[in-house]
A and B are shown apart, each in its own frame.
Chain A
Amino acid sequence: MKKIFLLGLALSATAAVTSASAQSLTGAGASFPYPLYSKMFAEYKKDKGVSVNYQSVGSGSGQKQIIERTVDFAGSDNPMSDETMKTAPAKLLHIPTAIGAVVPSYNLPGVTAPLKFTGKVLADIYLGKIKLWNDKAIAALNPGVTIPPLPITVARRSDGSGTTFVFSDYLSKVSSEWKTKVGTGNSLDWPVGTGAKGNDGVAGVVKSTPGALGYVELVYAKQNKLPYGSVQNRAGTFILADNGPASKAAEGVVIPSDTRVSITNSPNADAYPIASFTYVIFYQDQKYGNRTEAQAMELKKMLSWMTTTGQQYNEPLDYAKLPSNAANKAKTIINSMTYGGKKL
């Protein structure tokens, strides 16, 4: 009986949306750009009628899934290492789609002005050495701010994450203790912390827990109205994350032709120190499994749209646009896609 009811519902729904299922693409990976991608792909569907299913499962998962060829493209904030790329069955390409900032966001009732952090203090908190908000090290950076004596509930990722990679990459650059004890990676052997899934999950812990501190992409802090602190950059200035300081991080950085580059702890005096490109990863040769040329073409079109027309959605969502040199390199890379050796 339920089945009949269900079937009827399914049928009526089918009738309403039959035209939409014509073309679809599947992607998975980073949660860092998910608010941007979910907006881009909603617009893309309205505009071109192509459904793009992007699952925000974490960069680590995205990298794994593209290697196992279970998705059309992966999202990742950290480019794949050479070693990881070797495990893939064919040549993978990276293109950047946006620049984002990882911010230390917190839940401290009564604290209104943005707190100041240094890389060392962040490393010590995530190493478990600083346990309380009224620790001397934090107070010294924030004279005049009354910080409640709450315990720091350290929020971090439980899944393999590009945001974690970017954050730990930065901490490794500024704290030798972090570098030797924990290191850089998508997944880490965390000394402390409550694990949560995705940027969204970490933001959720911060939002619901007085005393929590978590690293999330800027948009997650902004959209969920979580306060976030400024971070001291390499030049010694405390920078509050925003589009401008994030894109400054890429200025003066030589972008290699495969676009795989780290822009944390940028030497630029106005740059925000925990910034990163976020990438889409896909196969250069699109003929594998049972993929058709039409599907490969859809992917190519979608990728070029993301790096051109789609860029208009970056800034309203607090991501920096691709700098023109990066956008040009992305274009060249997209144009090198093939299908069975034939140029697409």
Chain B
Amino acid sequence: MMGVATSARPKARTGLSTARKAQNMVMGGLILLATLLVVAPLILIFVYLIREGIGAVNLDFFTKVPAPEGETGGGLLNAITGSLIMLAMASVFGVLIGLAGGIFLAEYPRHPLMPGIRLVSDVLAGIPAIVMGLVAYGLIVLNFGFSGFAGALALGFLMIPIVVRTTEEVLKLVPQTVREAGLSLGLPQWLVTLKIVLPAAAGGIITGVMLALARVAGEAAPLIFTAFGNPNINFDPSKPMSALPLEIYRGATSAYDENQRMAKAGALLLIVLIFVTSLLARRFSRKV
């Protein structure tokens, strides 16, 4: 919309005036400073959690459940298992729907419903997680009680738009010639999609799923009214479950040193897992 502004033509032709050079230097310095400011919290948080949390990451942390209030020596096994189970369930739901949505958007671009579904998916991505928690409460909790399933559904809702978007994007990167080659062999379009296009885009899709997992693994807000929390280890998705972010929330707002210690250790574990997942996702996408 805007070309080079003609008024911007520098006046001095023979050399740069000192003022302009100084301005250039100052702005460069400010930009560097601002960048440092932006990156600083990440480093500060990480260093803080390592310093404060690493001490509590021991065998007990992975093998025990939280000690009764006021006692010491518990762990977060209840939260670790809860998070894993709910994430696994959420990805079944989120990936199935998200993948189908992405395939639909990329492979049927002329379908009359395409723009509508794309719009809704994009809009869904922006809805605050806690609102999706309210929805899962109304859908599941009011009818079947607090449960790991309700938590997983809320997380699944959050995964869908992320998976849709990445799937659509990577499928569009698969060259049209690949599809044409498949079709010219006499394969029906659906087999071309399933056997040729999807495998070609697998790396990118896996990246999308991992990013979606990394994003929802840290969500506590939608779990407060759904998964609810549980001090015991629970494998039954029809009963309440704990999750790492829930325990961090509980511990961070607690007066008990032990709970705070657990929260810091849990936060450390959580962000390490999230960072590693994001790193692996990057690896994957680079390979493709």
Contacts and interface: CB of A to CB of B under 8 A. Distances in A.
A196 B81 CA distance: 28
A52 B239 CA distance: 11
A17 B82 CA distance: 14
Q: What is the size category of the interface that chain A forms with chain B?
A: 35 or more
Give chain A's interface secondary structure class: helix
A108 to B, nearest CB: 16
B7 to A, nearest CB: 53
A55 B228 contact: yes
B213 interface: yes
B280 A1 contact: yes
Nearest to B87: A6
B141 interface: yes
B145 A38 contact: no
Interface string B202-237: 000000001001000000000000001111111110
A206 B256 CA distance: 12
Contacts of B254: 200-201, 203-204
B253 A71 contact: no
A68 interface: yes
B88 A10 contact: yes
Interface residues of B, number: 41
B70 A35 contact: yes
Interface stretch (A19-27, A236-244, A257-265): A19-27
Contacts of B145: 26, 69-71, 289
B146 A200 contact: no
Contacts of A9: 80-81, 84
Contacts of A53: 229-232, 234, 239-240
B126 interface: no
A201 B260 CA distance: 11
B130 to A, nearest CB: 15
B68 interface: yes
Contacts of A181: none
A98 B210 CA distance: 48
A201 B251 CA distance: 9
Contacts of B250: 200
Contacts of A20: 232-233
Given A10-B81, A17-B233, A68-B142, A204 B253 contact: yes
Contacts of B141: 70
A203 B273 CA distance: 31
B84 A70 contact: no
B285 interface: no
B270 to A, nearest CB: 13
A223 B69 contact: yes
A24 B68 contact: no
Contacts of A220: 255
Interface in A59-101: 68-71
Interface string B265-288: 000000001001100100000000
B152 interface: no
Contacts of A3: 88, 91, 213
Contacts of B85: 10
Contacts of B68: 35, 38-39, 42
B121 interface: no
B69 A39 contact: yes
Contacts of B160: none
B103 interface: no
B167 interface: no
Interface in A272-303: 289
A198 B146 CA distance: 20
Interface in A1-36: 1-3, 6-7, 9-10, 13-14, 17-18, 20-21, 24, 26, 28, 34-35
Interface in B141-167: 141-142, 145-146
Interface string A123-146: 000000000000000000000000
A172 B91 CA distance: 52
A51 B240 CA distance: 12
Contacts of A198: 253
Interface in A187-215: 196-198, 200-204, 206-207
Given A9-B84, A39-B68, A53-B239, 19 more contacts: A1-B280, A2-B210, A3-B88, A6-B87, A13-B81, A14-B235, A21-B233, A21-B235, A34-B69, A38-B69, A38-B231, A41-B231, A51-B234, A53-B229, A53-B232, A53-B240, A200-B69, A200-B254, A200-B256
Interface of A: 1-3, 6-7, 9-10, 13-14, 17-18, 20-21, 24, 26, 28, 34-35, 38-39, 41-42, 45, 51-55, 68-71, 196-198, 200-204, 206-207, 219-220, 223-224, 226, 289, 317
6 contacts: A2-B213, A7-B88, A38-B69, A53-B231, A70-B141, A224-B255
7 A-B pairs with the lowest CB-CB distances in the bound complex, closest first:
A203-B255, A35-B69, A204-B255, A51-B232, A223-B70, A38-B68, A39-B68
